[in-house]
Structure 1
Amino acid sequence: MATQPPTASTTPSLLALQSARKSYNVGLASEVEVLHGIDLQLQAGEFVALVGPSGSGKSTLLNILGLLEPMTAGRYCLQGQETSQLSDEGLTLLRRQALGFVFQFHHLLPAFTALENVTLPALMAHGVVTGQDKARATELLKAVGLAQALHKKPSELSGGMQQRVAIARALVHQPPLVLADEPTGNLDTQASQEVFTLLRDIHASQGTAFLIVTHDPRMAERCDRLVEVVDGLIARDTHTPHP
């Protein structure tokens, strides 16, 4: 049975997932259910680790929370909006407003500079990059320690530096929640520690909520809350004590 976090908030949830189920067709007359009725709430400003063995359903859950794929059944409210009532255009707009994404692979455009990669969401949303967009991107790149790399392309940056660019890109539209899928999984130990420390600093300074999928127990222990998914169900949901 899943355990609830030891404390609860009376403020509205940033996201609320109720009885989420997800099935995939595997043949003409059969399907496999990978999520079996998940309930999950996140409050504004939380810093949460999502853990579990391979094949447990973590990535599917993250895709649903990121509005990247629909549930088979259940209810999902993000920033108070019932997502099942939204059109594709409405889902795209909500995703753009409410969520930032950081992935294990940086997905930077190789022909673009760091600054251009960070302003890409504005270009995609509005078809133009304004001076204000560039100023915001520049501020973020400086904040993540890349003041000297604004005009460098990804091939000129280390893996850790590329991930910092990806983090800046995820934050450029000031989302209340960042979903991070193994954000240090491709980095060496030192770079991993630096990137994780950066995420914690952003959380502390800006109040951004983070949900981080990780296989690294050391990273999970440094988060404030740990949600463990096993066999398509939440097996544990606890706050993590810190010294």
Structure 2
Amino acid sequence: MPAPPTGGGLIDLSGIKKSYNIGRPSEAEVLHGLDLQIATGEFIALMGPSGSGKSTLLNILGLLEHATAGQYLLQGQAVQDLDDAQLTLLRRQTLGFVFQFHHLLPAFSALENVTLPALMSEGSVSSAQNERARSLLDAVGLANAMDKRPGELSGGMQQRVAIARALVLEPPLVLADEPTGNLDTATSSDVFALLRRIHEERGTSFIVVTHDPRLAVRCDRLVELVDGRIARDEAIVAGTEPVH
């Protein structure tokens, strides 16, 4: 059974389907009518075997792909009714992204990489946004590395820059796709602890795709996909054994 909502509605998916190669002999339906409700302030692990539809679902949640059928409400806004310009604006206002590979620009400093979303969104970086970027880098432990370029930073430090970048426009929801998958065990644990601290201190909602049950058990709720369907959706009790 789904975990009970813990706050106001953030995401409401109803009957979401996704097919590729529509009308061709190779047409395939990847998501088969998903229903999913996510409340503001949740910290959710999204798990499932390879090919289960995790990336497709995350792309739909992130407004990067359209569902073939069904309804997606994001903060009460019917996503399927929006054109590309409206989707882009909603994405900028609502969503932050952290990926396994951080995609930092090598010629930019850490601070410049963090302010990049503001620059792309508005064409310039305000003094308030620059100060927020500095504050975020301080919060992720990089106060002394703001002027360093990605090549001068460790993998864990680069991922911290990516996390700060995802938060600079103050999105209510961050989608994290295997954010620790390219890191060693100790650094993975540290980065995950940082995500949890941001969630607790700032109230940011997180949906974290992970294959690591040791990290999933540190979330508040587990949603598991199998063959394009939700096989499990349950609250995680603190102190439980790693999920399998």
State how many pairs are aligned.
239
2:146 is aligned to 150
What do residues 166-195 of structure 1 show as CA deviations (whole Å, max 9, x unaligned)? 000000011000000000000001110110
Task: Report the counterpart of residue 242 of structure 2 in structure 1.
Answer: none
Q: Deviations over 1:14-61 (max 9, x none)?
A: 011110000011884440000000011111110000000000000000
- 1:109-128 counterparts in 2 under 5 A? 109-128=105-124
1:90 maps to what in 2? 86
Q: What is the alpha-carbon root mean square deviation over aligned residues?
A: 1.1
Give 2:36's aligned residue: 40
Q: How do 1:211-222 and structure 2 match up within 5 A?
A: 211-222=207-218
- Tell me, yes or no, if structure 1 residue 225 matches structure 2 residue 216: no
**Would you say 1:73 and 2:75 are equivalent positions?**
no
Q: 1:147 aligns to what SS in structure 2?
A: coil
Which structure is higher in RCO with an 8 Å CA cutoff and minimum separation 6? 1
1:132 is aligned, of 128, 135, 159, to: 128
| Equivalent residue for 2:9, pick from 9, 13, 32 | 13
Name the residue aligned to 2:2.
Answer: 4
- The match for 1:31 is 27
> SS of 2:98's equivalent?
strand
CA–CA distance in 1 between the matches of 2:39 and 2:137? 27
Distance 2:198 2:120 in 1: 24
Of all paired residues, the percent bearing the same amino acid is 67
Identify unmatched segments of 5+ residues in structure 1. none
Q: What residue identity is the alignment partner of 2:131?
A: A
TM-score, with normalisation over the residues of structure 2?
Answer: 0.96
Opposite residue 77 of structure 2, the aligned amino acid is Q
TM-score, length of structure 1 as denominator length: 0.96
Partner SS, residue 204 of structure 1: helix
Tell me if 1:180 matches 2:173: no
C-alpha separation between the residues in 2 aligned to 1:143 and 1:107?
Answer: 20
